[in-house]
Amino acid sequence: MAERIGLICGAGEFPILLAKGAIKAGHEVITIGFKGITPPEIEKYSSAIEYFRLGKIDAPIKFLKKNGAGKVVMAGSVPHVSIFGGIMPDFRAIKLLASLKDKKANSLLGSIAEEMKKDGLELISSAAFLEDMLAKEGLICGKALTEEEKDAAAYGWKAAKAIAALDIGLTVVLREKVVYAAEGQEGTDKCILRAGELMRQSGDKGKLMVVKVARPNQDMRFDLPVAGIPTLKTMEQAGASILVLEAQKTLIFNPEAFAEEAKKAGITVFAATGEYSFK
């Protein structure tokens, strides 16, 4: 049944792909955008679109309801604006922020979802309409992992899961069992580049491994781990040759082109479902 799908649209290709998927499924897209963040291309795929300032909650919800959206998806990155300052919240957002048990992103996004629910809006999985892009378990491209690489991957998996559980980041970059960088607020690409720079400074000529996981009990409605061709370009620049992702919880944008680019760059991509995957 055709529906009007609300899209909270951040930066990057993620929201574009999602909008295309929703339209392909026969739906209309009602978009909430943010000036300077939302890609202008999204307007081609939106039946209605309005731009808001970060920190506003009440007006965007009213816009979605006015335009008949019942289900809503979040897609695309938004710059890490501190909720301690840097945004201009409306009264509804001020009340929401005051009610938070902590200041973590997942707590904030979960509260926004509950706020939408009060107005009859259902926040659904960010992988909606893109299920075919979820990483499938096993070797996606490249050479099979050696026993030493499997051992390092299992170690990296534990480290990544540890920081993910604390809502710090989703990615670690390592060489054998030495972690060169763990993702913080800077995001995956800068984390990878930082690891590459540290390895160069150390004089190490080896290759790095990137391990990116979902949070334990990942809420599929927001902040899913993603990988795309830009990830591979960054890895190539940093001197990383293996990418380990979490299967069924990580979106790989444009999978066929991604696999072809990985092959050209000599990068192995493996999707695991848990630490046991490397045994």
pLDDT in tens, 107-153: 777 788 888 899 999 999 999 999 999 999 999 999 999 999 999 99
Question: Between the CA of residue 270 and those of 51, 62, 119, 186, 240, what are the distances in Å?
Answer: 39, 43, 41, 24, 14
pLDDT in tens, 225-240: 999 999 999 999 999 9
Q: How far is residue 183 CA from its own chain's centroid? A: 13
Alpha-carbon gap, residue 140 to 38, rounded angstroms: 31
Closest alpha carbon to 5 in 112, 129, 119? 129
Tokens read off for 3? 């529906």
Query: Which of 28-42, 65-79, 105-119 has the lowest average pLDDT?
Result: 105-119
Say what the pLDDT of residue 15 is. 96
Closest alpha carbon to 159 in 210, 231, 220? 210
Residue limits of CATH 3.40.140.80 in the chain: 132-278
Question: Between the CA of residue 9 and those of 19, 38, 51, 72, 240, what are the distances in Å?
Answer: 10, 6, 10, 11, 31
What mean pLDDT is reported for the chain? 91
Strands 138-141 and 268-272: antiparallel
Fold designation for 4-123: Rossmann fold (3.40.50)
Alpha-carbon gap, residue 111 to 216, rounded angstroms: 19
Residue 29: Cβ-neighbour burial (10 angstroms; 0-12, 13-18, 19+): buried
Residue limits of CATH 3.40.50.20 in the chain: 4-123
Residue 201: Cβ-neighbour burial (10 angstroms; 0-12, 13-18, 19+): exposed
The architecture (CATH level 2) of 132-278 comes to 3-Layer(aba) Sandwich (3.40)
